[in-house]
Amino acid sequence: MFSRPTHYVDPMTEEPSTRDRLVQAATRLFRQRGYDGTGLTEILTEAGVPKGSLYHHFPEGKADLACAAADWTASEIIRVIDDSFRAAPDWRHGITTFCYKMAKLFDILESADACPIFGLLFEGPDHDRFRTQAEQSFDRIIAAAARHGQALGMTAEAAHDAAETFIIGFQGSWTLARTRRKSDVLRNLPNRLYGAKS
């Protein structure tokens, strides 16, 4: 029997692993202050982890950590998408539920953070690595949404298109919502995309 990989939360203990605490602290801070705006010490303090551990789990340091954070975020987003579509009778309902869920998150974050989805696209020295990472994460997210579209009767192509259009609109809406500090911009997105009246 091979040992359980330590970078997942042990379901038996309450404590997330050191690695996970790093990833989650990093996710939060990168979203708030951006890649270059966040110092390693800040992340380490928030995670309650010494520097040595960071470079053990992420040999390439900050960039490595950022990619892990992006990956983790994408998975979280997909989870919310799946949740939103679970009981949705049609595409618009699923999208609307997702927007409302995210608007709630937006309010919790006090309108301060970057869009969780597109915050994946960090600037930074290693631009191309981040770009590639972001591209993959987006495609995962879009594919997840498209799957639900297909399950609701769309053709593969139509579903992919609808998912893409939605993610585009969502990203723009989040940013505008942030500058205005109004989560209703997010709740209004379905009306913008699919016509007034819900």
Which residues make up the interface to DNA (CB under 7 A)?
Answer: 3, 6, 18, 36, 38-42, 49-53, 55-57, 60-63
Using CB atoms within 10 A of its CB, is residue 152 exposed (0-12), middle (13-18) or buried (19+)?
Answer: middle
Q: 64: Cβ–Cβ under 8 A, 6 or more apart, which residues?
A: 58
Q: How far is the CB of 198 from DNA (least distance, A)?
A: 44
Q: What DSSP designation does 198 have?
A: -
Report the residue from 35, 85, 98, 106 that binds its own copies according to the rule CB under 8 A. 35
User: Which H/E stretch holds residue 191?
Assistant: helix 189-194
Q: What angle do CA 35, 39, 40 make, to 5 degrees?
A: 105
Cα gap 153→158, rounded to integer Å: 10
| Three-class DSSP category at 61 | coil
Partner in contact with 79, chosen from its own copies, DNA, none, beta carbon below 5 to 8 Å by kind:
none
Choose between 18 and 137: whose C-beta lies nearer to DNA: 18
Interaction between residue 176 and its own copies (CB under 8 A) = yes
Q: How far is the CB of 178 from DNA (least distance, A)?
A: 23
Choose between 42 and 71: whose C-beta lies nearer to DNA: 42
Q: Which positions from 47 to 66 touch its own copies by CB under 8 A, shown as an x/- string? A: --------------------
Cα gap 173→188, rounded to integer Å: 9
The residues binding its own copies (CB under 8 A) are 32-37, 112, 114, 118, 121, 123-125, 127, 131, 134-135, 138, 164-165, 167-173, 175-176, 178-181, 189, 192
